[in-house]
A and B are shown apart, each in its own frame.
Chain A
Amino acid sequence: MSYKAIITKNTFLTTKLLEYLAGNPTVSKDIPSGVSYVVFSVDDTKLNEYNSKLVEQLKEDGKKVVEAIETKNQKNPWKLNYISA
């Protein structure tokens, strides 16, 4: 997968996530400020492979990471997995 394809897909998914979080502030109320979100697609395994490596890299850098996993559930379209450094 090309670099441009990765960032285009990630920017689309992160906007979807931000839109959801902005509209549902209680969903992220237990997540502290200053975290790094990495998104995982419901159906794009290649993108998810790349993003798994990105999570590992961010953890190595000492970042507090949230894996935002897209789901097929319309009521809860994202599962947030907070990994503290």
Chain B
Amino acid sequence: MKKRKHSILKTNDECSDSTFQASFDEVKKDEYFLSSQDRITVIFGVKKSKIEGIINVSYEIYISKKWITILRFDSAHEYLHRHTRISLDNPDTTVENFSVIQKGKPKDWLIWARKYMNKYFYECKVGFCRRSKISIIDLL
């Protein structure tokens, strides 16, 4: 069985690698609203009209009057990896690439990350609420 590796990272809500962001001709940011309290933010880098890097694909929830990223993917360091916020009180994230797509191009990674969120966003929200010791019912 493959051993699961992860690390804890003190991080911002978005990929903060400015060299990575500066390597693109254009950086595009879009928000996709799922409800008034849930949204997906997608930030990607474009070179010669092609998606060449995933700066951020994140699932965010509105809590305590601000948007908080609880799950995000980025491809800084040239591979896609996942950051999962520890809890409401602890903004650090666990970083891992276990079961994350490594083949294909950044455009494929973008679609993959989005489909991953389709499958796991609710589970991720429930886990975040449990770690934060808040009831998911309170968020509705």
Q: Which residues of A line the B interface, CB within 8 A?
A: 3-4, 6-8, 10-12, 14-15, 17-19, 22-23, 25, 33-39, 50, 54, 57-58, 63
Contact = CB atoms under 8 A, between A and B. Distances in A.
Contacts of A15: 111, 114-115, 117-118
Q: A interface, by DSSP: helix, strand, loop or mixed? A: helix
A10 to B, nearest CB: 4
Contacts of A38: 33
B130 to A, nearest CB: 17
Q: B interface, by DSSP: helix, strand, loop or mixed? A: strand
Contacts of A50: 35
B90 interface: no
Contacts of B20: none
Interface residues of B, number: 29
Contacts, number: 74
Contacts of A4: 122
Given A7-B38, A25-B49, A54-B36, A37 B114 contact: no
Contact of B30 (A8, A25, A33, A39): A33
Given A4-B122, A11-B40, A12-B118, A18 B110 contact: yes
Given A18-B110, A18-B111, A19-B111, A6 B35 contact: yes
Nearest to B115: A15
A51 to B, nearest CB: 8
